[in-house]
């Protein structure tokens, strides 16, 4: 039975295809964002220190946190929604497994939580830049000192992919997030979707459920919510992964073709330097 302070969201996991149910409870203290087993224990904080890479062929395609045997996967959309709403102290009650993917965006989480009280956290500010490069792909991500939040994702696919070069930015404003970023859905190229289906993955999904983009750039059996929806969704993921710092990062962050892995490494660098002498101040 839910109390008036509890909010429930349910669906199925993107990778597991299993039913998934989460219950949101107001944190009783400044405990941060925590994932809690329904029995009350174990629990794991949504912090980069607990980030893990899932095993199997899909490892690295989502964000996973774990402590001992308690693991929760595909948390990036929820963390993005919480950061966008400026909610930094909340308990997310769920069994070990995967959060519901909903429609592939963060909109369902935002709609469920938008009336929840803001629970702000002390921001992090940088004294120096941090950067992570992937020499193999040319992707990179950099966080630079700034007086306000400015996150930018630059999407670049090879010629013939069907997706034009595009970018999108967020200035930290919750309304901007709710209206312009939260509705952007996860996507894949048609050739990627065919390969994954051939491998027996995602049997529960069709192009009507998730964006599958044809070589001509048009979604198959679907329509874009925004002309630059792919870049907006990548920014959504970026915001969620940066939330693993546990507090808002007040910085200029530019992500160029970057992945979950690069953002996680950036978070590790920043978290490891949470000292004024090393480049971060509260």
Catalytic residues: 260
Rounded Cα distance, 147 and 145, in Å? 7
Other C-beta atoms lying within 10 Å of the C-beta of residue 282: 11
3-state SS class at 125: strand
Q: Which two tokens stand for residue 164?
A: 């034009």
> Which of 235, 217, 223, 233 has its CA nearest to residue 184?
233
- CA 166-248-66 angle, 5° bins: 90
Please identify which residue in the block is written with the tokens 């546990």: 246
- The DSSP call for residue 119 is B
C-alpha–C-alpha distance, residues 6 and 1, integer Å: 9
Per the CB < 8 A criterion, the answer to whether 282 and 122 are in contact is yes
Residue for token pair 């000292």? 275
Nearest Cα residue to 219 out of 177, 179, 195, 186: 186
Q: What's the CA angle centered on 96, arms 31 and 113, to 5 degrees?
A: 50
Q: Report the alpha-carbon distance of residue 30 to residue 279 in Å, rounded.
A: 24
Helix, coil or strand: residue 14: coil
* Residue 70: strand, helix, or coil: strand
* Largest interatomic CA distance in the chain: 54
Place of tokens 């995602």: 202
């Amino acid at each position: 039975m839910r109390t008036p302070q509890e909010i429930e969201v349910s669906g199925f996991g993107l990778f597991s295809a299993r039913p998934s149910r989460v219950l949101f409870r107001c944190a009783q203290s400044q405990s941060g964002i925590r994932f809690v087993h329904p029995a009350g224990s174990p629990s794991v904080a949504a912090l980069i220190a607990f980030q893990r890479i899932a095993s199997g062929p899909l490892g690295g395609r989502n964000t996973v946190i774990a402590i001992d045997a308690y693991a929760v996967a595909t948390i990036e959309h929820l963390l993005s929604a919480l950061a966008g709403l400026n909610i930094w102290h909340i308990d997310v009650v769920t069994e070990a497994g995967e959060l519901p993917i909903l429609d592939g965006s963060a909109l369902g989480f935002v709609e469920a939580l938008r009336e929840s009280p803001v629970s702000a956290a002390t921001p992090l500010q940088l004294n120096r830049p941090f950067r992570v490069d992937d020499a193999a792909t040319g992707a990179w991500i950099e966080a630079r000192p700034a007086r306000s939040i400015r996150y930018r994702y630059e999407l670049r696919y090879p010629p013939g992919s069907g997706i034009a070069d595009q970018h999108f930015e967020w200035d930290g404003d919750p309304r901007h997030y709710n209206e312009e970023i939260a509705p952007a859905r996860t996507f894949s190229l048609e050739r990627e979707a065919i390969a994954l289906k051939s491998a027996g993955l995602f049997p529960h999904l069709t192009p009507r459920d998730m964006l599958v983009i044809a070589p001509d750039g048009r979604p198959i059996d679907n329509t874009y919510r925004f002309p630059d929806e792919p870049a907006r969704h990548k920014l959504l993921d970026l915001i969620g992964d940066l939330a693993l710092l546990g507090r808002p990062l007040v910085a200029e962050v530019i992500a160029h073709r970057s992945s979950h892995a690069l953002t996680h490494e950036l978070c590790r660098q920043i978290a490891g330097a949470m000292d004024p002498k090393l480049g971060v101040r509260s």
